[in-house]
Amino acid sequence: MNADSRASNGPPGIDGSGDRTARGSLLPALILAAGLAGCATGGVPPGGFQFGVVGDVPYTRQQEQDFPHVLAAMNASDLAFVVHVGDFQADPREHYRQPQTTPLPCTDEKLKATLALLESSRHPIVLTPGDNDWTDCHFVKERRIDPLDELGKVRTAFYPPGRSLGQRTMPVASQSQDPRYAQFRENLRWTHGGVTFATLHMVGSNDNFGRTPEMNAEHAERAAANLAWMREAFALARRDGSLGVVLLTQANPGFESHWSSELLGRYFRNFAGVKPPIPPRPSAYDGFIGALAEEVARYTRPVAFIHGDTHLFRIDQPLLDPVTQRTFTHFTRMETFGNPETRWTRVIVDPSDPALFTFRAESGKQ
């Protein structure tokens, strides 16, 4: 069964469900079959479009077998493009806990296999990196890995100048075109159907902050670049009269950490014996959430924030307006599926709908 959730203009449900209504080598062969099958056009509104989101897979050997089926399902759908929101491999610690089921990550072979997998997409496909893809590679025991070396490999492999990956590509702008941010080739932006899209390289594991002075410096530079790129996306959306803005990143930044004590109390009321941390612990994402709230307050059209990281499919409106102490009703967060689920999310963009975005959970089967 598919589950559809529409971005609501009303108050968010505190249970995090929002306005939810239930509705009803193998790889080359799968890709070819999907291409011959054509496009599934149902559900595309007049003047609108759809795109696919996937993330936090494949981790395990079984998921390496299942993920081509997800790609085939997306290939058989009428999608404008696909975004992988990071973590295309497991944390090395998962390998050491379950070596029989989880292959060793952070190898050149894994990087090449992932690139081949993404390039097999019939649609344009964009990747924004996750912490497993470089930050957490220092946990590998077989050899010493510098996460910054891994980050360099990721940037080289997945970000050709001016375009996406995929059998059919689309043009994208990169933050690296600005000499001040020349190394951040992974921060991408594009426009489709009057909607502004931007990826932000913000990762789990506290965004690579708090482990070593060298990593803290890396985090600070990248966080500053992300803030500049986000603000530029909103500025362009306002200038161009965009219908909406979509931000895509790997990290779950912890919106709830910025909720009022009253709102947190209502949320945790459902969990017997569990109390919220008051005050919440500071994190590397605090500055980003504050800046995001400022931009959303200035931009009054729909904003979708799409991420992975915590592997829990959810759609809600968790960003708090620091002035009113109420959540923004034109800001919707969608977290897509992740390990152990090998599934994807369809996002439907309908210009005739005031909410603009509808999110549909997909099984990954054709």
Instruction: Name which residue leads in pLDDT, 158 or 38.
Output: 158
Q: Which pLDDT score, from 0 to 100, does residue 22 have?
A: 32
Q: Is 323 helix (H, G, I), strand (E, B) or coil?
A: coil
Sign (positive or negative) of CA dihedral 306, 307, 312, 316: negative
Count CB neighbours of 232 within 10 A.
16
Model confidence pLDDT, tens digit, residues 26-73:
343 343 333 333 334 456 889 999 999 999 999 999 999 999 999 999
Cα angle for residues 31, 37, 39 (degrees, 5° grid): 95
Model confidence pLDDT, tens digit, residues 266-292:
888 888 888 877 677 889 999 999 999
Q: Is 264 helix (H, G, I), strand (E, B) or coil?
A: helix
Model confidence pLDDT, tens digit, residues 138-151:
999 999 999 999 99
Q: In the predicted model, is pLDDT for residue 365 greater than 80? A: no
Q: In the predicted model, is pLDDT for residue 4 greater than 60? A: no
Encoded tokens for 295 = 């931009």
Encoded tokens for 56 = 């936090």
Q: Which residues pair with 188 in a beta bridge?
A: 174
| HSE, side-chain direction, 13 A CA sphere, residue 130 | 29
Q: Do β-strands 331-335 and 303-307 pair in parallel, antiparallel, or remain unpaired?
A: parallel
Helices (H), the chain: 27-37, 61-75, 92-97, 108-119, 147-158, 204-207, 213-240, 261-268, 286-298
Counts for the chain of helices (H) and strands (E), in that order: 9, 14
pLDDT band at residue 366, thresholds of 50, 70 and 90? Answer: low
Q: Which pLDDT score, from 0 to 100, does residue 44 have?
A: 85
Model confidence pLDDT, tens digit, residues 161-177:
999 999 999 999 999 99
Closest C-alpha to 249, from 340, 136, 127, 160: 127
Q: Is 276 helix (H, G, I), strand (E, B) or coil?
A: coil
Look over the chain and give the mean of its residue pLDDT values, rounded to a whole number: 89
Question: Dmax of the chain from CA atoms?
Answer: 56
Mean pLDDT of 301-329: 96
Encoded tokens for 252 = 């779950």
Q: In the predicted model, is pLDDT for residue 19 greater than 60? A: no
Q: Which pLDDT score, from 0 to 100, does residue 181 have?
A: 98
Count CB neighbours of 146 within 10 A.
12
Q: Which pLDDT score, from 0 to 100, does residue 361 have?
A: 97
- Show Cβ contacts of residue 142 under 8 Å, excluding neighbours closer than 6 positions: 104
List the single range of 14-18, 188-192, 238-242, 352-356 with lowest mean pLDDT: 14-18
Cα angle for residues 166, 169, 171 (degrees, 5° grid): 140
Domains in the chain, CATH or no CATH each: 2-362 (3.60.21.10)
- Show Cβ contacts of residue 278 under 8 Å, excluding neighbours closer than 6 positions: 261, 264
| HSE, side-chain direction, 13 A CA sphere, residue 261 | 3
Instruction: Name which residue leads in pLDDT, 41 or 314.
Output: 314
Region at 165 (left for phi over 0; alpha for psi -120 to 50; beta for the rest): beta
Amino acid found at 179: P
Closest C-alpha to 343, from 87, 98, 74: 74
Q: Which pLDDT score, from 0 to 100, does residue 175 have?
A: 98
pLDDT band at residue 184, thresholds of 50, 70 and 90? Answer: very high
Model confidence pLDDT, tens digit, residues 211-256:
999 999 999 999 999 999 999 999 999 999 999 999 999 999 999 9
Amino acid found at 345: T
Q: Which pLDDT score, from 0 to 100, does residue 5 have?
A: 64
